[in-house]
Structure 1
Amino acid sequence: MSYSWKWFRAGRMQQVSLTCGADIAALAELDRKQWIALSMPTTGVRFDLRMLELMDTDHDGRIRTPEVLAAIDFLKAKNVDFDSLFSAGEAEEKALADVTAKQADLAALEPSADDKKALADWEAKGKTPEVAVAGDATADADAALAAVEPVIDAFFLPPEDMPLVTEDPDKELPLKDHLNPKHLEAILAFAEKCVKPVLGEEDMLSRLEWKKVKGAFAAYRAWVAAKPVMNAGKKGELDDEERVLRYKLHLVEFLENYVNMKRLYDLEDLAIFQTGVLRIDAKEMNLCFHVDSEAAHSALAERSKCCVIYLKLSRPSEGATRQICAVVTAGAVAQLYVGRNGVFYDRDGKDWEAVVTKVVEAQVSLREAFWAPWRKLGEGIAATVKKFLGDKQAAAQKNIEAGAQSAQAGGAAMASSVAAIGIGVGMVGAAAASLMAAISNMTALQIAISIVALILVVSLPSVILTWFKLRQRDLGAILNASGWAINRPMRFSIKRARGFTICAPCRLCRVLCWLFAIFVIAAVALYFACPCTKSCKPAAENPAPAPAAEAPAPAPAPAN
């Protein structure tokens, strides 16, 4: 019989609710399509890093769904009461501190006779020629090999990854000349410490020789991995105890940032990927994410339909720098530009100097959308006036630099300028007179309705389009850019957006909004309630009565 799940709605989607131990114990039965995340990095998050290390069983720097389920199975094998995960607190923290202290003391504990013998055998094997390829310098040589292994592997592309036709299938790697300065020092160290003991003095390295060098150090690497652990039994017990305690303390929080996103949509908590709070431009933004590469991150973040700003952080007192991005979800973005300074507060309370380095623009609020057409209109008028005045000033400057002119020519030019100004003033006056004439023929109610209609015609389309765009914003695209594998869209409402970005109250904007709302309501109410509405319409003109027919002239008197 399948488990009966409970659900809650957040981010315009149904998410599974984890409220008791039975919910966690049954997670293996939950359809993978209902999980919010399928994979996440172990870096760039605010979480217990030791627990992430324990969950990352393959040590690849990522947590995947099978590893999450393996952690739950581990607790089942240890007969842990899953309901206790929701009530873990000070007792578990104290027990964890005791276990950590015991683990530290274990290193100083005298190993058993069997452990000593195993360690001696292991050390003796490390002195054989098969393992000690470079003698006593084998450890340094292996480190030099590891430093260049990825770039040399990339240089010698595997045959199965080569194109059908290649210019030089047997190309060789130069070990001294024509090298990228970034890798020059590492390649020279590799040639001296690794190539020379295995192949002798070489200036070029072929694909087969590269495989031979790597193969020569395979035995050493296997020997290092096989080093016996002293007091292995006791260490294993302490490690298991530590794992249980850390899972008790933090597993619920992890699941509420992975299976669902309760922590993100809860106003009282912060998600593990929220790195702190940014204060800039009279705003407080808590949707801040760690960024490794601004270029790569911004290319994917554009798909989120969100306004994202990228910032470089620094703490001069510590010489530390880092990069983050912040999602702007409310207010306006006109004053957020490259070079703008702010302050970032991380989750530890440290303050960082923040400088905006890039802005991915998008609409963030309906209020901004309402004023956007008027702002563009004002900018257009200002640009036109500026261009007109600039042209006039340039022409005047040109005339001055041209030298003295005849009085007659100067008079003609002056007359021409005066005439041009007069024509312009006349046109403006005529337009104003026409507008005033039209207004004078309207009642106060008609004027109010016309103003409201004009404002709505200009602003309403922008508001409607922006409303649809705001509903399409997806934080999942931001997390995908940060290395997460997000399984479902992570939308957020306009109301929740105001919680992600808190703006300083603008009294003027609030007053204008209320005045406009009152004005619209009053105009509509007057239109439907005013008894003179009908009389406002022009009365139909009654045709003038036809003139009365003239009386016939009297007949002439008969002649006598």
Structure 2
Amino acid sequence: MPQGEQTLATLQSQHKWRFFRSGGFDQVALDSAADLQHLHELDPKLWTVLNCPTTGLEFDNRTAALLDTDGDGQIRVPEILAAVRWCCERLQDADIMFQAPGLPLAAIHDQDAEGANLRAAALRVLEIVGKTDADALQVSDLADMTLLFSPHHFNGDGVVMAELTADAELAQLITEIIQTQGGQPDRSGGEGIHSDSLNAFYQQVEAVVQWHAAGGSDDPQFCPLGDNMAAAVAAFDAVKAKVDDFFVRCQLAAFDHRAADALNPAVAVYDVLSNKAISSADADVAALPLAAVTAGSPLPLGEGINPAWTSAITEFKQRVVEPLLAAKGKHKAGHLTAEQWQQICEQLEPWCAWQAAKPDTKVHQLELDRLQAIVSGDGKERLEALIAQDIAASTFADNVDAVERLVRYQRDLVTLLRNFVSLSDFYQSKHKAIFQIGTLYLDQRSCELVLKVSDMARHATMAPFSGCYLVYCTCERQGEAPLHIVAALTGGDVDELMVPGRNGVFYDRQGRDWRAMVTKVVVQPVSIGQAFWSPYKRVAAFIEAQLQKFAASRDKDIEAKTTTGVTTVAAAPTPAAPAAPAAVAGFDIAKFAGIFAAMGLAVGAIGTALAAVMSGLFSLLWWQIPLVILGVLLLISGPSMLMAFLTLRRRNLGPLLDANGWAVNTRAKINVPFGAALTGLARLPAGAKRSLTDPFAEKKRPWGSLLILLLVLIGAGLFWWFRMN
């Protein structure tokens, strides 16, 4: 190994990384320039994240786009390393990456050509925005690139605007190219032309000039009708297909006299027309032949023509037939023969072919004299030189992009590293992580672990593996698109959140409030204490539900019997004579005796069981009784608490981020103490005074206290009886 490479390897091996433990795993601390310079040496297996999306984060979108060099919507480890390496090369001291946003001119390393150009471009930007070389460049100075590029100066994008030249002729030419070819966006914010639009314009101009030259408008053989040629050809084209149809039919009739009847409309066609109101514009009429078909007959140009074509034929006669044939004595008044029709077609054919070859371009809107002047002038060469000058000035423009990249990286890159290489922003609570989009206030608590949900289906599949109690909400705000979020509840009671539909308030990172409505809940344990009471709450809820069902069924039975009795009495007929009173159903003593016997057996069984329990309980020593009660409570709540303990142990952030397109490289745990810090509960401020007087409190009655006293006395009596016996 060469000596230089050995020295570099020695320096690399001497770098000592510092790690901190949080979330159940070791995370690298990034605090110095040396950490950035040696980041490429850090084993990727020790990185917390391997890639993250460029959207849905509280991170500058433009900076994320600059980091995503391949444009795949993901920021990956190689792209992070390339950005860090470039920053270290372009800065005098990489420690500035850890300082407040702002890039001083002196911080740029300018000992090579790239650095010198970068510093010169940064100085030019400072001058344009009205700062001195002692001021620091901020991201806001480069937010509007159009301010950095004046339309009166070359900016290196290869697009020239009319304002770039003082030559009125060139400015007019640029304007005409934009009118006919469309404008190209210039870095100054306006529109101009580039090489492609310039070449296309001149190609089209030359084609149009050549097309006009091929027209020969002064040649009577080419343009027999002079200035009226266009209108005449339009009238000719309007009837050409129909006239051709008529003469072909006549030729077929001459070929075979039997065809004449078939080539003329059948009588049934007229029967259809006779049953409705018709006009000369009727499509069925226009579909009929132009005139009656007979062998060798000429086309009538007046009487005998199809009414739907009268107007078009008259126009054709006036503009074409009479000027071409009547003036030469070749036209019989009111008729057109097949030979005359063929002569007309031959005379108009050259002009029609020339029109068909007309170039399809907007250049036609310019006068022919102007087009000829453009072709004969040197405007193209002068514009090409102007474009070449603009391209030659690309050094400043290219380096402005590099300046923007460096300024943005100085402000944002370390923030990304502390949410990518490690999750220190999340676990050390100094700053919110870039995936935390705000705070959800719901049911007297604030939830800090709130993520944006872009794909509900994917999130619903992955997120439950996080082990967190999750609340999905749809957030709405006037003038904004709906926002879908998921919040992790890691503290407090969750009994009232079981049913979607509750409303809360979501505050985004800009401090704007959104109306949040719960749409879905993923139930998971929140704490051991909640798990302890959950069996009793479930039993109480079950008993309450059964009592409600029993009360509802009894109420329904009574209502049904009452309704049936009233209906029976109202429907009974009025007797004609007094009738004997109906026999009253007898009291079934046996039935009620059975009921009372069953109730007695039940009470006896319950009493016997209670007596056995009390006997066993009071047979113990006094200090053993609390232990037994505690054991019973643990027997009931133990399984629920064990399940909650196991779930809380595996609660982690990874699945929540994976559901949003991240690639989390470790189990980022959310233990109970850290989870408690992510959910704030309502507490009275320190030193606050409380008044416990409630004017609407329920009136206290002695019956509850008397019942408790009675139970205590009964228990004492049973204890004494069992001790005596």
Q: Rg: which structure is higher?
A: 2
Q: TM-score, normalised by structure 1?
A: 0.66
SS of residue matched to 1:349: coil
Amino acid at match of 2:650: Q
Alignment deviations for residues 224-283 of structure 1 (CA, whole Å, 9 cap, x no partner): xxxx97953222222212211221122111100000000010123210000000011222
SS of residue matched to 1:371: helix
- Compared CA separation, residues 298 and 275, structure 1 to 2 (3 A): same
Residues in 1 aligned to 2:495 and 2:392: alpha-carbon distance in whole angstroms: 63
SS of residue matched to 1:263: helix
Shift of 1:417: 5.0
Residues in 1 aligned to 2:402 and 2:414: alpha-carbon distance in whole angstroms: 19
Aligned residue among 72, 83, 90 for 1:60: 72
Aligned to 1:546: none
Amino acid at match of 1:7: F
* 2:222 counterpart of 1:124: no
Residues in 2 aligned to 1:442 and 1:31: alpha-carbon distance in whole angstroms: 64
SS of residue matched to 1:76: helix
Aligned residue among 385, 390, 408 for 1:246: 408
Gaps of 5+ in 1: 131-227, 507-537, 540-560
Residues in 2 aligned to 1:362 and 1:399: alpha-carbon distance in whole angstroms: 46
Which piece of structure 1 moves more, 302-311 or 252-261?
A: 302-311
Aligned to 2:496: 335
Residues in 1 aligned to 2:419 and 2:432: alpha-carbon distance in whole angstroms: 10
Residues in 1 aligned to 2:202 and 2:531: alpha-carbon distance in whole angstroms: 75
Aligned residue among 624, 630, 635 for 1:452: 630
Amino acid at match of 1:370: F
Which piece of structure 1 moves more, 426-435 or 241-250?
A: 426-435
Residues in 1 aligned to 2:554 and 2:597: alpha-carbon distance in whole angstroms: 15
- Compared CA separation, residues 414 and 58, structure 1 to 2 (3 A): same
Which piece of structure 1 moves more, 42-51 or 393-402?
A: 393-402
SS of residue matched to 1:110: coil
Aligned residue among 445, 462, 469 for 1:300: 462
* 2:76 counterpart of 1:76: no
Gaps of 5+ in 2: 1-8, 105-134, 161-191, 205-389, 569-582, 685-721
Amino acid at match of 2:196: W
On the 8 A contact 2:651/2:671 being kept in 1, the answer is no
SS of residue matched to 1:15: strand
Give 1:88-167 correspondences, 5 Å limit.
Answer: 88-89=100-101, 94-96=136-138, 99-100=141-142, 103-112=145-154, 115=158, 119-125=193-199
Residues in 2 aligned to 1:52 and 1:12: alpha-carbon distance in whole angstroms: 29
Residues in 2 aligned to 1:62 and 1:289: alpha-carbon distance in whole angstroms: 18
* 2:54 counterpart of 1:42: yes
On the 8 A contact 1:267/1:499 being kept in 2, the answer is no
Aligned to 2:578: none
* 2:521 counterpart of 1:359: yes
Residues in 1 aligned to 2:144 and 2:78: alpha-carbon distance in whole angstroms: 31
Give 1:319-330 correspondences, 5 Å limit.
Answer: 319-330=480-491
- Compared CA separation, residues 104 and 66, structure 1 to 2 (3 A): same
Residues in 2 aligned to 1:13 and 1:129: alpha-carbon distance in whole angstroms: 68
- Compared CA separation, residues 319 and 121, structure 1 to 2 (3 A): closer
- Compared CA separation, residues 432 and 229, structure 1 to 2 (3 A): farther
Amino acid at match of 2:483: R
Residues in 1 aligned to 2:529 and 2:22: alpha-carbon distance in whole angstroms: 24
Percentage of matched positions with identical amino acids: 34
* 2:421 counterpart of 1:259: yes
* 2:638 counterpart of 1:477: no
Aligned residue among 292, 309, 318 for 2:479: 318
Shift of 1:402: 6.0
Alignment deviations for residues 415-464 of structure 1 (CA, whole Å, 9 cap, x no partner): 55555544444444444444344444344322212111111222233222
Give 1:134-533 correspondences, 5 Å limit.
Answer: 231-315=393-477, 317-336=478-497, 337-389=499-551, 392-393=554-555, 400=562, 403=565, 406-408=584-586, 418-504=596-682
Shift of 1:18: 0.9
- Compared CA separation, residues 80 and 417, structure 1 to 2 (3 A): farther
Which piece of structure 1 moves more, 411-420 or 245-254?
A: 411-420
On the 8 A contact 2:474/2:484 being kept in 1, the answer is yes
Aligned to 2:45: 33
On the 8 A contact 1:106/1:235 being kept in 2, the answer is no
Alignment deviations for residues 344-403 of structure 1 (CA, whole Å, 9 cap, x no partner): 111111111000111111112111111122222323333444455555555555655665
The size of the alignment, in residue pairs, is 410
- Compared CA separation, residues 236 and 319, structure 1 to 2 (3 A): closer
Which piece of structure 1 moves more, 73-82 or 300-309?
A: 73-82
Residues in 1 aligned to 2:563 and 2:64: alpha-carbon distance in whole angstroms: 75
Alignment deviations for residues 500-519 of structure 1 (CA, whole Å, 9 cap, x no partner): 1122359xxxxxxxxxxxxx
On the 8 A contact 1:111/1:231 being kept in 2, the answer is no
On the 8 A contact 2:103/2:407 being kept in 1, the answer is no
- Compared CA separation, residues 429 and 387, structure 1 to 2 (3 A): farther
Amino acid at match of 1:32: P
Amino acid at match of 2:670: F
Residues in 1 aligned to 2:33 and 2:474: alpha-carbon distance in whole angstroms: 42
Amino acid at match of 1:504: A
Residues in 1 aligned to 2:542 and 2:501: alpha-carbon distance in whole angstroms: 25
- Compared CA separation, residues 281 and 229, structure 1 to 2 (3 A): farther
Residues in 2 aligned to 1:400 and 1:416: alpha-carbon distance in whole angstroms: 26
On the 8 A contact 1:99/1:241 being kept in 2, the answer is no
On the 8 A contact 1:274/1:289 being kept in 2, the answer is yes
On the 8 A contact 2:101/2:411 being kept in 1, the answer is yes
- Compared CA separation, residues 24 and 407, structure 1 to 2 (3 A): same
Amino acid at match of 2:493: A
Shift of 1:492: 2.0
- Compared CA separation, residues 101 and 353, structure 1 to 2 (3 A): closer
Residues in 1 aligned to 2:471 and 2:143: alpha-carbon distance in whole angstroms: 44
SS of residue matched to 1:335: helix
On the 8 A contact 1:99/1:238 being kept in 2, the answer is no
Residues in 1 aligned to 2:391 and 2:584: alpha-carbon distance in whole angstroms: 104
Amino acid at match of 1:299: T
On the 8 A contact 1:111/1:230 being kept in 2, the answer is no
SS of residue matched to 2:482: strand
Aligned to 1:532: none
Amino acid at match of 1:348: Q
SS of residue matched to 1:320: coil
Residues in 2 aligned to 1:437 and 1:98: alpha-carbon distance in whole angstroms: 83
Aligned to 1:161: none
Residues in 2 aligned to 1:293 and 1:409: alpha-carbon distance in whole angstroms: 70
**RMSD of equivalent CA atoms:** 3.2
Residues in 2 aligned to 1:24 and 1:46: alpha-carbon distance in whole angstroms: 23
SS of residue matched to 2:675: helix
Residues in 2 aligned to 1:110 and 1:230: alpha-carbon distance in whole angstroms: 15
SS of residue matched to 1:470: helix
Q: TM-score, normalised by structure 2?
A: 0.52
On the 8 A contact 2:102/2:407 being kept in 1, the answer is no
On the 8 A contact 1:36/1:261 being kept in 2, the answer is yes
Residues in 2 aligned to 1:311 and 1:229: alpha-carbon distance in whole angstroms: 52
Residues in 2 aligned to 1:424 and 1:503: alpha-carbon distance in whole angstroms: 47
SS of residue matched to 2:137: helix
- Compared CA separation, residues 359 and 116, structure 1 to 2 (3 A): closer
